[in-house]
């Protein structure tokens, strides 16, 4: 994991240096967004259906001060319903 992180740093450093030496060829916007997307793409587990999915495509919900991610609004609603019933 640490090795991968190092590779990423070297790669990003290379990209920065390249854009410094070649100012006319700075990376295009969509490409940069794509890189950010890959770095941010963390897999999270839906607490309701227990499926793993990319965090970015999930539904974010803050319940009792804790942040949860759901694969769909249906799972979120079902989970909210379940904890509501459990607390009754």
- Residues in contact with Zn ion by the rule CB under 5 A: 46, 49, 71, 75
Minimum CB–partner distance for residue 73 and Zn ion (Å): 10
As given in the structure block, the two tokens for residue 55 are 């965090």
Minimum CB–partner distance for residue 65 and Zn ion (Å): 22
- Residue number, 49 or 80, with CB nearest to Zn ion: 49
Minimum CB–partner distance for residue 33 and Zn ion (Å): 27
């Amino acid at each position: 994991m640490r090795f991968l992180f190092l590779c990423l740093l070297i790669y990003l450093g290379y990209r920065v240096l390249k854009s410094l030496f070649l100012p006319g060829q700075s990376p295009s916007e969509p490409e940069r967004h794509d890189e950010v997307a890959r770095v941010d793409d963390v897999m999270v587990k839906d607490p309701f259906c227990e499926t793993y999915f990319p965090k970015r495509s999930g539904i974010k919900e803050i319940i009792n001060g804790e942040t949860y991610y759901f694969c769909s609004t249906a799972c979120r609603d079902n989970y909210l319903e379940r904890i509501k019933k459990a607390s009754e």
